[in-house]
């Protein structure tokens, strides 16, 4: 009995630590599968011993939030839901009642209050008793109405989420996100709880209502389903939901299971709530769960396989993530052969070694994970050098989590952004090399410097067999690389990513140096500082860049790869000399705004991103637009001209 009590205390301590890491530190020290298994073990022990510790995760709904956001106590405690993986348990719960079944969204639960049709307050779930006030952030959620037709006091609950698609895009743009955000839920949590709502606005957070808490006046016909219809009419996006009974529950669960992979919104199960509001409320609650609703967690399809190797995958932050490669297995209708292990702590928890028999599953039926290690041979052979650059590695300990890092500041994996700039439209303009693809090519050793991009044909077969590639994709990529060989000196200089040297500066410098590679290589700070528009800072970083022997060599090698036609003497009259333009909106006569910019710069003008008192013209085909740039231009008395009017200016 004493051993069981000891085990219970160990589980409470470990599960609380795992939850703190996940909810507050946005990291993972244990898989979801393992957490659920240990949680169930703890529940069984508590039932057997008749003892529950005050700190047990089975009775504590959540943790006190840690941030500088204001706190507020909820009018009603927000309880967790009792859960099951057994459809028969749902049938038992339903009995003869009609209910509503919906996705259990995996984001951050928010409580909204509207008065007089206006959004007054938004508070996170927090620990169920006290949440954080995030009203300003909620006002920039992508789909949330700030005004609604209903004029009484309305209180609703819903989930703030970031789609898988937006998660991937945002992840690519945030330098330090690799080490912090493992899934859309963690990214959403960090986005919603920002102190600056400009950051929230850029993250494409969406809100889906799932419960109406209070609204005086309307007749909801004692129906949760009707409430959802009414909320939809008020302008809210509501969670996808269907009516269900004990007779249709199996069919409905199967429908959601079939559609989870195409669902762009993260979900970790289903929610069942009685349609009859009065009946549900009459049942009351337990200490932790409401009695009118139930959560259904997917019964994970688990397959046994053999771990073949641990692949160590470096990221741009220097973090090197372990990835388990195993004999392929069929899971949820697809073939799976790899799963992220996230960090060394999880490897040690699983005692994971090559050759072990492991069980794998798809978390939320989507993300491959290791459920259990059956043979537990132990962690060994953690690499002492980075698999990309060969630099020394170090094990870091952060928030009780062991992670592996590359210590080499010049590691190619850390400079993915520079390769991304090199292939971008205003630089070498190579289509088919997204940031994610570049990361893969760098990881596999196909790209070590810029010139390697022009010789990817060395790895033709490997690339064709990569996930997401094929014959057609490879041919398109090669065609794009060949087209990129025909370029200009300013494009090539901009592509190098010299600090402070943008596309416009590159054009000005190359023109002043007569497009001559030797003059570019050997330019002095004094010479560059004489060029109009090039200050001491730009001149300094330009000279410093080419003082590096490695940079000089790469530039000379690139000159052998590309074809730069001799630039005809362009004597376009400098009619825009000393003038500042701002371009906004779509264009009709040019391919894009960059071409308009080029024409302005060719004639001595300058293009800036914002309207100020120094702006001479704002180019916008929609002069009547209420955009911020138009408003600013009108305030300052700056002419707003159309593209046609700009063309007339060019011809004067």
The answer to whether residues 330 and 303 touch, using CB atoms and an 8 Å cutoff, is yes
228/220 Cα distance (integer angstroms): 9
SS3 at position 156: strand
Is residue 32 within a helix (H) or strand (E), and if so which, with residue range?
A: helix 32-49
The answer to whether residues 137 and 82 touch, using CB atoms and an 8 Å cutoff, is no
The answer to whether residues 291 and 285 touch, using CB atoms and an 8 Å cutoff, is yes
566/488 Cα distance (integer angstroms): 9
Burial group, residue 474, by CB count within 10 angstroms (0-12, 13-18, 19+): buried
Helices marked H in 284-434: 344-350, 416-423
Is residue 65 within a helix (H) or strand (E), and if so which, with residue range?
A: none
- The secondary structure of 175-225, three-state, reads CCCCCCCCCHHHHHHHHHCCCCHHHHHHCCCEEEEEEEEEECCCCCCCEHH
18/626 Cα distance (integer angstroms): 49
508/488 Cα distance (integer angstroms): 13
Strand partners, 580: 606
Beta-sheet strand order (sheet of 99-105): 83-84, 293-296, 267-274, 99-105, 241-244
φ/ψ of residue 582, rounded to 5: -125, 135
SS3 at position 402: strand
In DSSP notation, 456-474 reads: GGGGHHHHHTSTT--HHHH
* Annotated catalytic residue within 4, 6, 47, 104: 104
23/186 Cα distance (integer angstroms): 8
For residue 386, the Cα-to-chain-centroid distance in whole angstroms is: 25
Q: What does the DSSP 8-state code read for residue 563?
A: B
- Catalytic (active site) residue 472: no
Considering just the CA atoms, what is the radius of gyration of the chain in Å? 30
Q: Extract the runs of DSSP E, i.e. beta strands, from 225-366.
A: 241-244, 267-274, 293-296, 303-314, 319-331, 334-340, 357-363
235/570 Cα distance (integer angstroms): 57
The answer to whether residues 45 and 312 touch, using CB atoms and an 8 Å cutoff, is no
Residue 583, token pair as written in the block = 């371009």
Q: What does the DSSP 8-state code read for residue 162?
A: -
The answer to whether residues 105 and 81 touch, using CB atoms and an 8 Å cutoff, is no
Q: Which of 192, 127, 124, 135 is closest to 157 using CA atoms? A: 124
Q: What does the DSSP 8-state code read for residue 643?
A: H
Q: How many CA atoms within 13 Å lie on the side-chain side of 425?
A: 5
Residue 545, token pair as written in the block = 């860049």
Residue 447, token pair as written in the block = 């790209």
Report the catalytic residues. 104
């Amino acid at each position: 009995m004493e051993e069981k009590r000891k085990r219970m205390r160990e589980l409470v301590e470990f599960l609380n630590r795992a939850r703190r890491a996940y909810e507050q530190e946005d990291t993972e020290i244990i898989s979801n599968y393992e957490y659920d298994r240990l949680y169930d073990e703890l529940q069984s022990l508590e039932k057997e011993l008749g003892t529950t510790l005050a700190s047990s995760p089975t009775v504590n709904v959540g943790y006190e939030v840690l941030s500088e956001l204001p706190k507020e106590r909820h009018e009603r405690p927000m309880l967790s839901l009792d859960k099951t993986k057994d459809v028969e348990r749902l049938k038992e719960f339903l009995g003869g009642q009609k209910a509503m079944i919906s996705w259990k969204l995996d984001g951050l639960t928010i409580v909204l209050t509207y008065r007089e049709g206006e959004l007054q307050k938004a508070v996170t779930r927090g620990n169920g008793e006290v949440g954080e006030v995030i009203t300003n952030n909620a006002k920039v959620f992508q789909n949330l109405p700030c005004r609604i037709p209903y004029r009484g006091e309305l209180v609703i609950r819903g989930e703030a989420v970031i789609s898988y698609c937006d998660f991937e895009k945002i992840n690519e743009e945030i330098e330090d996100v690799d080490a912090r955000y493992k899934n859309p839920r963690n990214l959403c949590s960090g986005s919603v709880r920002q102190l600056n709502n400009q950051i929230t606005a850029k993250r494409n957070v969406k809100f889906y209502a799932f419960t109406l808490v209070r609204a005086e006046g309307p007749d909801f016909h004692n129906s949760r389903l009707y409430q959802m219809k009414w909320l939809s009419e008020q302008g809210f996006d509501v969670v996808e939901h269907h009516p269900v009974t004990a007779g249709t529950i199996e069919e409905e669960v199967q429908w959601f299971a079939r559609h989870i992979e195409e669902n762009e919104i993260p979900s970790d199960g289903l929610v069942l709530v009685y349609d009859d509001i009065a009946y549900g409320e009459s049942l009351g609650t337990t200490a932790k769960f409401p009695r009118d609703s139930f959560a259904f967690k997917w019964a994970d399809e688990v397959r046994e396989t053999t771990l073949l190797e641990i692949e160590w995958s470096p990221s741009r932050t220097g973090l090197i993530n372990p990835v388990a490669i195993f004999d392929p297995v069929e899971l949820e209708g697809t073939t799976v052969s790899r799963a992220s292990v996230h960090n060394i702590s999880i490897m040690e928890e699983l005692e994971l070694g090559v050759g072990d028999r492991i069980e794998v599953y798809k978390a939320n039926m989507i993300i491959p994970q290791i459920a259990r290690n059956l043979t537990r041979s132990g962690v060994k052979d953690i690499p002492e050098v980075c698999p990309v650059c060969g630099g020394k590695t170090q094990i870091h300990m952060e928030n009780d989590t062991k992670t592996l890092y590359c210590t080499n500041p010049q590691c190619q994996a850390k400079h993915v952004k520079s390769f991304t700039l090199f292939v971008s439209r205003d630089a070498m303009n190579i289509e088919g090399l997204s940031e994610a693809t570049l990361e893969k090519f760098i990881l596999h050793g196909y790209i070590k410097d810029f010139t390697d991009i022009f010789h990817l044909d060395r790895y033709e077969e490997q690339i064709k067999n990569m996930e997401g590639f094929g014959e057609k994709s490879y041919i398109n990529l090669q065609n794009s690389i060949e087209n990129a060989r025909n370029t200009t000196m300013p494009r090539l200089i901009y592509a190098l990513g010299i600090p402070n040297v943008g596309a416009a500066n590159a054009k000005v410098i190359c023109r002043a140096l007569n497009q001559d590679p030797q003059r570019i290589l050997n330019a002095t700070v004094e010479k560059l500082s004489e060029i109009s528009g090039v200050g001491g800072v730009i001149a300094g970083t330009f000279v410093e860049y080419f003082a590096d022997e490695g940079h000089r060599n790469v530039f000379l090698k690139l000159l052998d790869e590309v074809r730069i036609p001799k630039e005809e003497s362009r004597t376009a009259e400098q009619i825009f000399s000393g003038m500042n333009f701002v371009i906004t909106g779509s264009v009709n006569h040019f391919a894009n705004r960059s071409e308009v910019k080029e024409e302005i710069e060719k004639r001595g003008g300058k293009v800036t991103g914002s309207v100020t008192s120094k702006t001479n013209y704002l180019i916008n085909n929609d002069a009547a637009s209420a955009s911020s740039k138009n408003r600013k231009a009108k305030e300052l008395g700056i002419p707003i001209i159309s593209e046609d009017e700009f063309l007339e200016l060019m011809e004067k």
